[in-house]
Amino acid sequence: MVELDFALCGFSGPYDEYNPYYVTQHPERQRIIIALHEEPQTISELATKLNMDEHIVRQHVDALLRCGLARIGNDGKVRLTFTVLLGQDLKKLEPVMNSLTKDLVEIARENINNLKNIVKNIKCTQQGNFPELNYIILVAYTFDFEGLNVLSSEGYLVVTREMPGNRRYVFSAVDKSIINLKSLFKWGHSYSTRNYEFFTHGNVSEYSPRLAFPDLATYVLLTQSDLGNYIDTILEASGKLLENLASCELKLNDAISELEKYLRKEEAILLLQFLASMGYVIYYPGKILRLGRPFLYKEDVELILSFARNFIKKFIECSLSKRWSTLKEVYMTTGPARHGVPIEEAFNIIYHIVFSRAALFLLEEGFLYLEYDRNGARYCAWVSVK
């Protein structure tokens, strides 16, 4: 039996009836999605095909409708409103995806000197060596964050769209036996406070959240939303400390004093220990504290985004624009096209697969660097001024 793996680009909101991860976790709903992928069907036809009670099928379809993942046409047939790529779809798309991946890798190789120059000009590198910066600049900001924006502005890709429950996202699913989405280097998470943004990017573990602030803060808030203000205070205090460390090392007592502007002393000490366990700070002999993760100032980010925009525009000019007609032709033979999902929306997950494969190739080549965590995930964490 086909097992689906899901991915979301945007904001899914609380874990409730409008959250697509929550709605699609039910095994029977996944059976319905897989059955619908073949062709739009009425509820009666679905019940017969799946050997399920029609009333139960209607309940599951209602949940998909409420979340905006399906619609019922004038012919009474249920149609999926999000991209689902199963075996034959992915097989058809594979040649053009491979070509796009190779093109991204080649453009990255051509830009190696530009990338090195950007790293040299990032202020925090004066306080230490951060080998993950190549990945942050090329994959997180260029392929992913700004890449999506440029592709959207050029009309190739839908980043997010309005969804029920005051959410904005594009949701997708693939056959997990062919592509395990969690293993892809496409998962960028962020958490914002008043003055700082905490980021992670890479792949994710099947078992636990990544040991970094954006993932842990979001994980806690899913179950204890009343802690929002306290978590914001902790991250704001951490951001200020890391900004100081991006300029110079600090004595341990000075670091504690900085955190005491936001927290009680015992909380400040615990937070320092927590920051060290996550690698944001490093203890040195003599009770000296140094920066352990990259910290980006506004001028650093502006420099990176300028590089990213030029890179993706070259990718569009030299690769995507030339392969787009072929991609459209192939896409029209896939399941999502039969349900009326625009190629620009489907290209969201297709492009994520493409750039993740390019990232993996560059990692294996030694062009990029990422550490493994204790659960086998590979990702990086960093902080920027908002």
Per-residue pLDDT at 201 exceeds 90: yes
Average pLDDT, integer, range 181-187: 95
The predicted model gives 140-144 an average pLDDT of 98
Interatomic CA distance for residues 384 and 386, integer angstroms: 6
Domain range list for the chain: 4-84, 90-166+187-386
Burial of 11 (0-12, 13-18, 19+ CB in 10 A): exposed
Residue range 290-297: mean pLDDT, rounded: 98
Average pLDDT over residues 81-85: 98
Confidence of residue 71 (pLDDT cuts 50, 70, 90): very high
d(CA 10, CA 171): 9
Q: Could you tell me the pLDDT band of residue 78, with boundaries at 50, 70 and 90?
A: very high
Percent pLDDT > 70 in the chain is 99
Say if residues 33 and 4 touch (Cβ distance below 8 Å): yes
Mean pLDDT of 286-308: 97
Position 365 scores a pLDDT of 95
More confident residue, 223 or 74: 74
Residue 255 has pLDDT above 80, yes or no: yes
Kind plus residue range of the DSSP H or E element containing 116 = helix 112-121
* pTM, full prediction: 0.95
CATH class, domain 4-84, is mainly alpha
**Mean pLDDT over residues 277-303, rounded?**
96
Sole residue written with tokens 């190549």? 134
What value does the mean pLDDT take over residues 198-215? 92
Mean model confidence pLDDT for the chain: 96
